[in-house]
Structure 1
Amino acid sequence: MSKVRILLPKSREDIRKEIDKIGASKQGSVIMQSKGQFFWVKLYDVSLRASIFVKQEMLSKGGEAAVAHGVGDFSQDKTDILLMGTLKQYKQLILKLKIQPFGLKAISADIEEALNQYNNHHWMNSSKENILKLGKKAFKLGQRTLVMGILNVTPDSFSDGGRFNKLDNALEQARLMVQQGIDILDIGGESTRPNHQSVSEQEEMERVFPVLEKILKELEVPVSIDTYKASVAEEALKMGAHMLNDIWGLKKDPRLASVAARYEVPLCIMHNRTVHQYQDLMKDIVFDLKESVNLACEAGVKNENIILDPGIGFAKNLSENLEVMNHLEEISALGYPVLLGTSRKSMIGKVLDLPPEARLEGTAATLTLGITRGVDIVRVHDIEYMKRVVDMTDAMVRRKEYC
């Protein structure tokens, strides 16, 4: 019998554990971890001269670089580059590019920033302790997946419209969700279903604020406000809300970023578009999110207060939603906590041919996949059942609280 086993480490931590099992020295373990961690990095629109240099240098370090065929015969001016290599090879490449012309210093800085963000903030690889502060509560990201409960105080939401738009019903539901174990309560006063009717700032406040006031007085749970309107957000934060959740990624009302910065609260930035058209789906989504992050940072929002949401069900068809689900690691790789909102979404309904109230198992499948791919927060309707799904998935994936 062959005594050989193929290993497929999912993180730097997995690499460290396997090296330590061998009995290698501590110093040797640190060195080998950077050799064992492999990355695919894609660069866009690199000039011909710069691309030739990058390719030659990556190959000289033992890595690989794919460029367009036209680079070889100098028939095109620019190319995308796909780099493949270990963390050690990238570090060597970065050092060499920093002292070169043709815009290579800027390219080296971009590669370095991307790798550092991923390794420093992503729970699968980071040795840093990343904390999400919500009012008096502080959550250590990476230990377990946080559960955000959905409370729609609207008459026309796609899943539960009209069930909780009366104060007593909303309060009863909020109490139940807290009892069932939510970490965050997300209150929304405007439906986001397809073809929904937008509401005025005044009407949104009238729907949300009576419920918010009661919940803040009665329940000890961090409250997020699901709004893209800066005026609604500011008034809610004045009342004591702890977080903002913007389905337009700061692109409907950029003033929301300044509000979040001023009150120093976490801000969830979701991917969305007014025009549903993509040239390269994941590239476009990642670059859209980077634009939103820049808007937040320029307004003064701290990095530790930024959360990203891939926007499942927003400006994406079924095929695109499924593709995003299959590439969630690319959102995590941006270096910020990721919130996933798939609960009862039409993506599940179209695959399983089921109405919203019958999409329990489909939601569970999406949450499980999301957690295995680095998601930190899940936004759900069915707390009792989804909390069990999250706990079981965490036990298998994160294992920190169970082993």
Structure 2
Amino acid sequence: MGPVQILQIHERQKIYDLIAETGCDPAGTALMVPKALQYLIRIAEVPAKAANLLKQEMLAKGGDCAVSRRTCSLEVETTTAILIGTEKQYKALLQKLKMQPFGLPAVGEQIRLALQRYEQSRYRDLSCRGKTITLGNRTQIMGILNLTPDSFSDGGSYNDIEKALQKMEEMIAEGADIIDVGAESTRPGAVALTAEEEIERLKPFLPELVRHCPVPISIDTYKSKVARFALEQGVHILNDVWGLRHDREIASLAAYYGVPLILMHNQIETNYKDLMAEIIKALEEAIEWALQAQVPEEALVVDPGIGFGKTYEQNLEVMARLSEFRVLGKPILLGTSRKSLIGNTLHLPVTERLEGTLATSVYGIMSGADILRVHDIQAHVRAAKMTDALVRRVK
């Protein structure tokens, strides 16, 4: 007899393959997978009466539900509920919740959608005006091309067309899948530009970059006037660093021109009562605004916004819990390159943050990131290829 092994597997296909390896009957394998998939689901601000029924029903299905100890006596109006159960138990729970009062049918629908989005396939094609980005089979690398004189990392380095084209060509030769162009620094304390100033800065560059670039180009902006100008020049992707909170017209432009839209979480203050819940809710709102503007579901990408509207400790927590963004059912873009999160951890200047960036990027891939926005292309292409071999089993 061989050794006893304790396995930690949270992906449906890997569990299926593991059981199938035993020679188990295919029908039996299909029945066992939902019993092996366990989920810890957190729901904030559940009304006490609903929470009591939720706990009762979850216990009846063989799972469990943690709530405030004062919920039973209705001493609290609401409670956070932590549900613990297998996929099979949740399926049974959702059927029962359809017949319960206190808003539980709506809660059940939220749970159903969350599970569906969390488990849906990461394989998809982003259609970019004649170019295609395939997600899911390997990590995509987005190279940063700053046309700003005051960027925190490489401001002023590519302030003429020849230098910008040379940098673009270098990044593509090193393996960049996307080139992200920005003309306004978004670092803390940077001087904001008007839309007209940003357009003037882009005018000499964008037509040449689009003409010579073989991969999709994204424009890093939060102003619809700038986005419109960039799209008129042939740009393929909109990367909104304010997630439509500054200018919702950007969503209408993405829909009209048929381009992918990246929605990043951002806010001015760093005050949160419930960090991850509030960030996820904000991104859900941005997604809904985009859908209302007729942007297709499959054209949306989310970015947790590391370094934006978050303290050092909050950035660490978001990174540590990155996999939770899978509940949105959208590809995840991660941008940590050379940021203060790394500088404050390693106490190193911007020019010496490559290793720290690579650590966050590798962790990001393992947590579900599909796109990495980075400065150092070659190092990230190699690190991503190795990580993909481990996580996605691709060469």
Per the normalisation by structure 2, the TM-score is 0.97
CA drift of 1:219 comes to 2.1
Matching residue of 1:393: 387
- Deviation beyond 4 Å, 4+ runs, structure 1: none
CA drift of 1:15 comes to 0.6
Deviations 1:2-34 (A, max 9, x none): 621111113112211110111111121122111
Q: Distance in 1 between matches of 2:6 and 2:356?
A: 32
Matches within 5 A, 1:310-321: 310-321=304-315
Name which of structure 1's ranges 243-252 and 136-145 shifts more when overlaid on structure 2. Answer: 136-145
Of the candidates 278, 283, 287, which is equivalent to residue 281 of structure 2? Answer: 287
Aligned amino acid, residue 89 of structure 2: Q
Q: Distance in 2 between matches of 1:90 and 1:137?
A: 40
Matching residue of 2:254: 260
Query: Residue 120 of structure 2 aligns to a residue in which SS?
Result: helix
Q: Distance in 1 between matches of 2:327 and 2:106?
A: 20
Of the candidates 362, 366, 373, which is equivalent to residue 356 of structure 2? Answer: 362
Of the candidates 326, 347, 352, which is equivalent to residue 353 of structure 1? Answer: 347
Gap regions ≥5 residues in structure 1? 124-128
Deviations 1:32-58 (A, max 9, x none): 111111111112222222111111111
Matching residue of 1:201: 195
Contact map agreement 2:243 2:263 (CA 8 A) in 1: yes
CA drift of 1:281 comes to 1.2
Q: Distance in 2 between matches of 1:219 and 1:265?
A: 17
Per the normalisation by structure 1, the TM-score is 0.95
Q: Does 1:67 align with 2:67?
A: yes
Contact map agreement 1:187 1:208 (CA 8 A) in 2: no
Matching residue of 1:13: 13
Matching residue of 1:119: 119
Q: Distance in 2 between matches of 1:380 and 1:76?
A: 47
CA drift of 1:388 comes to 0.9
Aligned residue pairs: how many? Answer: 395
Aligned amino acid, residue 340 of structure 2: S
Matches within 5 A, 1:219-298: 219-298=213-292
Matching residue of 1:144: 138
CA drift of 1:345 comes to 0.5
Matching residue of 1:213: 207
CA drift of 1:73 comes to 2.1
Name which of structure 1's ranges 96-105 and 132-141 shifts more when overlaid on structure 2. Answer: 132-141
Name which of structure 1's ranges 189-198 and 137-146 shifts more when overlaid on structure 2. Answer: 137-146
Matching residue of 1:186: 180
CA drift of 1:280 comes to 1.5
Query: Residue 137 of structure 2 aligns to a residue in which SS?
Result: coil
Aligned amino acid, residue 303 of structure 2: D
CA drift of 1:140 comes to 3.0
Query: Residue 262 of structure 2 aligns to a residue in which SS?
Result: strand
Query: Residue 41 of structure 1 aligns to a residue in which SS?
Result: strand
Q: Distance in 2 between matches of 1:73 and 1:199?
A: 56
CA drift of 1:210 comes to 2.4
Contact map agreement 2:10 2:38 (CA 8 A) in 1: no
Q: Distance in 2 between matches of 1:55 and 1:134?
A: 46
Matches within 5 A, 1:124-135: 129-135=123-129
Aligned amino acid, residue 60 of structure 2: S
Contact map agreement 1:165 1:207 (CA 8 A) in 2: no
Q: Distance in 2 between matches of 1:10 and 1:112?
A: 18
Matching residue of 1:373: 367
Aligned amino acid, residue 330 of structure 2: Y
Matching residue of 1:341: 335
Contact map agreement 1:332 1:375 (CA 8 A) in 2: no
Query: Residue 141 of structure 2 aligns to a residue in which SS?
Result: strand
Deviations 1:163-204 (A, max 9, x none): 012211111101111111111000001001110001111121
Aligned amino acid, residue 377 of structure 2: I
Aligned amino acid, residue 85 of structure 1: G
Q: Distance in 1 between matches of 2:10 and 2:112?
A: 21
Query: Residue 307 of structure 1 aligns to a residue in which SS?
Result: strand
CA drift of 1:95 comes to 0.7
Of the candidates 149, 159, 167, which is equivalent to residue 165 of structure 1? Answer: 159
RMSD of the alignment, in Å? 1.3
Matching residue of 1:36: 36
Q: Distance in 2 between matches of 1:277 and 1:49?
A: 30
Gap regions ≥5 residues in structure 2? none
Matches within 5 A, 1:37-116: 37-116=37-116
